Structure 1
Amino acid sequence: MNAKTLFAVLSFSSVLVGCTNDNPSTLMDDTPMMGLTTYNQNVKPIIDNNCVVCHAAVPKNGAPMSLVTYEQVKQAVLNRGLLTRISLENGNGSLMPSGGPRMPQATIDIIIKWEKEGLLEQ
């Protein structure tokens, strides 16, 4: 192997190895949220980024319901145990998102705060 190829392989490898120890909990801004938590401002982005892959308008991968509207997410919190499912520990077969990893606690806390403040839409 020539020197240029070896250098390129080592450089690429060091980049990959340098990123393997990122802790998801340290990647979140865990500054307490100020003001009221609303679905549109705070919760919808979480659902869209973590749940809609399976809980789409037409649910996929065995998901039992859609989570694309405010009312659907509200009902999932009130009647379908959404907070319990996202709060389970890694390795629990019922953890959502399915297959894990568990969302950072700061993200889960936003949804908990939303419920405590009355599940406001806007």
Structure 2
Amino acid sequence: MKKLTIILTISISFFNCANDSLSDLTESGPLPNLVTYVKDVKPIMDNNCINCHGTTPINGANVSLVTYNQVKSAVQNNSLISRINATDPGNLMPQGGPKLPQNLIDTVIKWQTDGFVEN
């Protein structure tokens, strides 16, 4: 009887061992929302910027803001975020104002922070 108790105890111990996978051990839940060019930034550019910053820039605009690479370059090399976030009317974009709503400016800033995700 004592041998049977020992065997049962050992058997129960083995069956209760868990074999967790990595996904079982990491916290799950929604991923942080990434700002992407296609989903978030392109609509901002299309609705507010390409009137002047189209394929052929007009009205004194010096860069096109039609494609992902153009917008990314404008953020990195042409102070796009400073221009849309300016308080001086002479530097404010869109030219002639009004200033973009802060949530749209914050979206472009977060796109940069998130690493310029395209899709």
Q: Specify if TM > 0.5.
A: yes
Aligned to 2:72: 74
In structure 1, what residue type is equivalent to 2:110?
K
CA RMSD of aligned residues (A): 0.9
TM-score (norm 1): 0.70
In the aligned structure 1, how far is the partner of 2:57 from the partner of 2:109?
24
Unaligned segments of structure 1, at least 5 residues: 1-33
1:4-53: per-residue Cα shift (whole Å, max 9, x none)?
Answer: xxxxxxxxxxxxxxxxxxxxxxxxxxxxxx61110000000000001000
Q: State the secondary structure of the residue aligned to 2:65.
A: coil
Report how many residues are paired.
88
Query: Runs in 1 of length 4+ with deviation above 4 angstroms?
Result: none
- Which aligned pairs between 1:25-64 and structure 2 lie closer than 5 A? 35-64=33-62
Q: 2:105 aligns with which of 105, 108, 114?
A: 108
Q: TM-score, normalised by structure 2?
A: 0.72
Structure-2 residue corresponding to 1:120? 117
